[in-house]
Amino acid sequence: MSNQILQNLKSVFKDWRYSLLGFVVGFFYFLVVIVFSNINLTIGNLGLNYFIVQSIVQFMIGILFMIFVPISVYKIVLFSDFSAKENASGVFGGAVAIIVAGCPACSITLASYVGLAGFFSTFPFYGLELKILTIPLMGWANYSLLSNLMACEIDLSNRRSIEVVEEEE
């Protein structure tokens, strides 16, 4: 099974477009983390150990996110006749969903804009627990995408009845 996952990973990243996408996503992820992190404030308020653990966790999430986005896009492109012009709102919504789901720094920043920063301060480690929880979730997401990269699991058994209903209208 792990050999298949490695082969699928190689098949995605051997195309320069997906490698570039992974690099760009990683660059912007780490840029957001650096810009929105006040290192001196974090070390001063929460300590050096907290900062080290948070940095390691952020780095691991960044690497997993750099893998997640290109394989997600690869699978979408592989199994759809997708047109960005026709589906602009879906593209925007999907981009926001990927950012919020895969980028804890982005989602916490977005959450603070809607007033949820106080919620994160109620945790004993100020949201670090959620970032640590993100690592196995992102790992599982990457594993499930890579293990079924060439499989489309959409149930099309219902498709005939949908086509008949469209013709009747």
pTM of this prediction? 0.71
Of 60, 49, 55, 56, the residue nearest 135 (C-alpha): 60
Domain edges within the chain? 2-168
Tens digit of each residue's pLDDT, the chain (169 residues):
578 889 989 999 999 999 999 999 889 888 888 887 778 888 888 889 988 998 898 899 889 889 988 988 888 887 765 555 555 555 555 555 555 544 555 555 556 666 666 676 777 877 788 788 888 888 888 888 888 777 766 555 555 444 444 454 4
Distance CA 88, CA 17 (A): 21
Q: How many CB atoms lie within 10 A of CB 113?
A: 8
Measured between alpha carbons, how far is 88 from 85 in angstroms, rounded to an integer? Answer: 5
Q: At CB < 8 A and 24+ separation, what contacts does 127-133 make? A: 128/50, 128/53, 128/54, 128/57, 130/104, 131/54, 131/57, 131/58, 131/61, 131/104, 132/57
